[in-house]
Amino acid sequence: MLQVKIVFLLLLPLIFLPSCQKSKPPEKPAFAASPSSSSLTKRISKIQVTYQLLYGKSPLLSWLHKGVSEDTLNILLALNRVSERHLFRLDSLIVPDTFLSDLKDYAPFPRALDSVRDVKKIIFISNSIQAFGAYENGALIRWGPVSLGKVSTPTKNGLYYTNWKSKRAVSTIDEAWIMNWYFNLDNFKGVSLHEYDLPGFPASHSCARMLEKDAKWIYYWADQWILSSNSRIAGYGTPVIIYGSFPYAAEKPWRQIKHITGETTIAEIKTEIETFHSLILKRQTERTSLLE
């Protein structure tokens, strides 16, 4: 049997300001960084994080098989873009050496976006890093992994809205595909957000697959459309911007330090906001007037 080489990415211990010293002690795996590892230090908000690319073998799997907390598991699934059953099927893992209770500490998206502070709710979904970020008035409130369209059925970029939803939907392509916590984005092409398997790469038929907990959260958080008496859209739901491109034939972007620090993601988001901001605000105002 071939020996599998485990490659994982470490975050060095996070340094907090005095106001954070009473937080829950972080969980740490039992392995240390190699002196030869490459690193990059990035200051994110009040936390300084150093990323190191490290090579190791059995200690990682041994530690995981012993069992980890729910918070730790959520971080591993998000960083590796997989659902739980695929975690041990990967040939390499991204693993931080410090686990905090707030998943947002590991987000590839900025904690705050001043340019959308006037937008009540908005979701950004990145094709390049296969992740979503949900914002309320410019503040990141949740992020998680996704699996977008595979190379033959890519997820098209653009501005969408959460239209209508169903706790359980059956695919029109294959009746065996059950999509729980379904939220439609394109009523004609069937593009949607829903819970389904995340293998660690784009694998869908143009939808955005999500972990069950994320799809269920969006199901209750996002707004549905409001239809007029003649079934036209009178009020749009929550805006969803899908952007970027996935390098199908290259290394997965989330394994590269510059993407994990969120630098390229921020630049892409700013471009998308400039394109759609005025339209989003117009439709937000129209919806608000209907609800008054």
The model's pLDDT over 34-59, given as tens digits with 9 standing for 90+, comes to: 333 333 334 444 444 444 443 445 46
- Percent of the chain exceeding pLDDT 70 equals 73
Cα torsion 28, 30, 34, 38: sign? negative
**Which of 172 and 200 is assigned the larger pLDDT?**
200
- The predicted-structure confidence for 237-262, as pLDDT tens digits, reads as follows 999 999 999 999 988 888 776 666 66
Residues 6+ apart with CB under 8 A from 7: 53, 54, 55, 92, 93
**Least confident span in 30-44, 57-71, 78-92, 203-217:** 30-44
Range 67-73 contact pairs with CB under 8 angstroms and sequence separation of 24 or more:
68/27, 69/27, 69/99, 71/27, 71/99, 71/100, 71/101, 71/103, 72/27, 72/99
CA neighbor of 257 nearest in space, from 103, 81, 56, 50: 50
> pLDDT band at 98, cuts 50/70/90?
confident
Given pLDDT bands bounded at 50, 70 and 90, which one contains residue 7?
very low
Q: List C-alpha distances in Å: 1 to 27, 65, 214.
A: 33, 20, 37
Please give the structure tokens belonging to residue 172: 């029109």
Query: Of 60-69, 104-113, 279-288, which one has max mean pLDDT?
Result: 279-288
Where are the chain's structural domains?
6-105, 107-291
Residue 181, Ramachandran bin (φ over 0: left; ψ between -120 and 50: alpha; else beta)? left
User: The domain 107-291: what is its CATH number?
Assistant: 2.40.440.10
- Of 230 and 259, more confident: 230
Above 80 in pLDDT, residue 183?
yes
**Residues 216-236, mean pLDDT to the nearest whole number:** 96
* Average of per-residue pLDDT values in the chain: 80
* CB hemisphere CA count around 29 (13 angstroms): 28
pLDDT per residue over 105-153, tens digit each? 889 999 999 999 999 999 999 999 999 999 999 999 999 999 999 999 9
